[in-house]
Amino acid sequence: MSSKAVFYHAGCPVCIDAEKNLAYSLDPARFKLEIVHLGENKGRVPEAIASGVKSVPALLLGDEVYHINFGASIDDLK
Amino acid sequence: MSSKAVFYHAGCPVCIDAEKNLAYSLDPARFKLEIVHLGENKGRVPEAIASGVKSVPALLLGDEVYHINFGASIDDLK
């Protein structure tokens, strides 16, 4: 069974790079990857904050949030 | 052909969590993963710095470094 992986980003260069090189490097046999652009989907910002996302790009694997480098603060996406 | 992936860490809780949940989540069909404990292998700190690692845990995919959350500064591992 696949686990859910959510990659939150905001379209910034750091985000796009992490999406291409890291998020899409997850084992597709184990993860069902969802890409969420918080700039275009502001309605999902509260969900990201509730999951512990403090900056983007961030990868949510199960209940754990992994902030990858730094593109933008979640506060700037509200 | 597999690409090389190097996960640099220092044994800290943040590092161990990222190793278990993120590094081992990479697609094994695409990446040959090496785990490097910089606290136990200080001789590899210069190599990590040359690759752009500024803190651990960090994942090197090809030439790109992804700093994952924050465990310790590379300066504290010299």
Q: What residues of A are in contact with residue B67 (Cβ under 8 Å)?
A: 68-69
- Return the CATH class of domain A3-77: alpha beta
Q: Is 90 exceeded by the pLDDT of residue B50?
A: yes
Q: Do residue A21 and residue B61 have CB atoms under 8 angstroms apart?
A: yes
Taking the domains of chain A in order of start, what are their residue ranges?
A: 3-77
* pLDDT tens-digit readout, B12-26: 999 999 999 999 999
How many angstroms separate the CA atoms of A46 and B31, rounded? Answer: 34
- Give the pLDDT of residue B2: 86
Query: H/E element holding B14?
Result: helix B13-21
pLDDT digits (tens, 9 = 90+) for A16-74: 999 999 999 999 999 999 999 999 999 999 999 999 999 999 999 999 999 999 999 99
Cβ within 8 Å of residue B57, ≥6 positions away: B7, B8, B9, B10, B12, B14, B15, B18, B19, B23, B67, B68, B69, B71
Assembly ipTM: 0.93
Å between A7 CA and nearest CA of chain B: 13
